[in-house]
Amino acid sequence: MTLRIIGWGTGAVGREVLRTVLDPRTGMELAGLRVYSSDKDGVDAGTLVGVAPVGVAATTDVEAILAIPADCVVYTPRLTDVDEVCAILASGKNVVTTAFLFHPERAAPADREKLLAACRVGGSTLHGCGLNPGNLSGALPLALTGMSRTVDKLTLQERADWSVYDSTAITFDNMRFGAPLDEISVTANDFLAFNSAIFVEQVWLLADALHAGIDEVTADVEAVAAERDHEIFDHLLRAGTTAGQRWNWVGRRDGAPLVEIETLWTVGNEYPAHWPKPRHGWTLTIEGDPSMQAHFVSLASFTRDATMAEHVDSANVATGMQVLNAVPAVCAAAPGFATIADLPPVRSLIGFGNA
């Protein structure tokens, strides 16, 4: 059966999703496309990803898109809206998202109840995932614990220098690199608070799935100043302003840290001497019986030459594919929430693509 998909957002991740939905080997067809930008309104979906027109026009009209029959919406906007997701779910469409709701059972109770009610009305299922939060802080650690007798502590470290990331609206405006150090905190602005909350949810997801019985998840951030000026695309990051952010989200039981996600983020590639020094990318360490460590990095290719932009975009491909590949399982799941801990293993729909 062909699955009818609605794309919701055509940013860096949404475009990768769209491009893949248009590949018939996925067993999917594009039913509709929601955009936010007025200059994309009415533009053919194929044109938006640089292929021939496919006969589906992008629209900014939410009512119109909600009326389109479809199996699943792939929801990838920059700014999220719980009520909007509820409207999609209540209209009978499943939702997969890279943006939030990675473990809705641990979301604010009012949101959780609203979402569950919408799932009941629409007979629909909600799944949030991606790269991190997502596979690396969900599927991968859970898969590795398939080899564990017991787990004592699970830590995921993400080390990344964002200087190559050309979306400076995200690094400077949202994440506040280049801002005074005292503007970096868990509650400093809506974006930092939102971003922190989704990692808190992810710690709960692992803890709940592995019977950690934690009683709290704490969030902390340390901001570190640049030692000299840096030119980052169209921005000047001045010496003395924020060039490093070390975030720690820690799930504890009786004060003992059991599950931790740590991000070691820099812009300008000055690496604070006192920070831990895992390799660039993601390092997953499971202390237990046995103790295990895995390092992950995504690139456009390990064999052919690729531009930095292509390498950076590989993370967008990974993020989008993680939810798109989950669509058949989400459509088959019982109505309600389906986290990565609930779904069967998600694998590439196209894979080698030869069959």
Ligand X SMILES: NC(=O)c1ccc[n+]([C@@H]2O[C@H](COP(=O)([O-])OP(=O)(O)OC[C@H]3O[C@@H](n4cnc5c(N)ncnc54)[C@H](OP(=O)(O)O)[C@@H]3O)[C@@H](O)[C@H]2O)c1
Per-residue mark of binding to ligand X, 92-121 (x: CB under 6 A)? ------xx----------------------
For residue 78, what are its two tokens?
């920059």
- Residue with Cβ nearer ligand X (9 or 32): 9
Closest CB to ligand X: residue number: 11
- Exposure string of 35-44, with b = 16+ CB inside 10 Å and e = fewer, is beeeebeebb
Name residues contacting ligand X, limited to 283-342 (CB under 6 A): 316, 319
What are the CA-CA distances from residue 160 to residues 35, 199, 271 (Å)? 29, 16, 10
Q: How far is the CB of 244 from ligand X (least distance, A)?
A: 20
Kindly state the smallest distance separating residue 251's Cβ from ligand X, in Å.
19
| Among 18, 30, 131, 324, contact with ligand X (rule: CB under 6 A) | 131
- Annotate 200-241 with three-state secondary structure: HHHHHHHHHHCCCCCCEEEEEEEEEECCCCEEECCEEECCCC
CA gap 197, 101 in Å, rounded: 10
Q: Is 351 left (phi over 0), alpha (psi -120 to 50) or beta?
A: left
Q: Is 77 in the site for ligand X (CB under 6 A)?
A: yes
Closest approach, Cβ 95 to ligand X, in A, equals 13
Residue whose tokens read 């503007």: 183
Given candidates 43, 44, 78, 310, which one binds ligand X under the rule CB under 6 A?
Answer: 78
Any contact of residue 134 with ligand X (CB under 6 A)? yes
How far from each other are the two terminal CA atoms of the chain, in whole angstroms?
17
What is the DSSP annotation of 178-203?
TS-GGG-STTSSHHHHHHHHHHHHHH
The span from the CA of 50 to the CA of 55, in Å, is: 14
Least distance CB 229 / ligand X (angstroms) = 26
Instruction: Provide the mask over 24-43, with x wherever binding to ligand X is found by CB under 6 A and - wherever it is not.
Output: -----------xxx--x---
Query: By CB under 6 A, which span of 72-80, 117-125, 331-339, 345-353 interacts with ligand X?
Result: 72-80
Q: How far is the CB of 235 from ligand X (least distance, A)?
A: 16
d(CA 96, CA 208): 21
Please tell me whether residue 348 binds ligand X under the rule CB under 6 A. no
# residues near ligand X by CB under 6 A? 24
CB of 222 to ligand X, least distance (A): 22
Q: Which residues have C-beta within 8 Å of that of residue 226, sequence separation ≥ 6?
A: 237, 238, 239, 240, 241, 242, 243, 268, 270
Q: Which of 76, 124, 163, 171 binds ligand X (CB under 6 A)?
A: 76
Stretch in the footprint of ligand X (CB under 6 A) among 7-15, 144-152, 267-275, 333-341:
7-15
65 CB-contact burial (10 Å; exposed 0-12 / middle 13-18 / buried 19+): buried
Chain centroid to CA 263 = 14
- Identity of the residue, 93 or 252, whose beta carbon is nearer to ligand X in the bound complex: 93
Of 14, 141, 251, 268, the one binding ligand X (CB under 6 A) is 14
Q: Is 318 helix (H, G, I), strand (E, B) or coil?
A: helix
Instruction: Give the contact letters, 148-177, x = binds to ligand X (CB under 6 A), - = no.
Output: -------------------x----------
Q: Which of residues 180-239 bind ligand X (CB under 6 A)?
A: none
The region of 129-137, 142-150, 218-226, 326-334 touching ligand X under the rule CB under 6 A is: 129-137
Which chain residues interact with ligand X by CB under 6 A?
A: 9-14, 35-37, 40, 76-79, 98-99, 130-134, 167, 316, 319
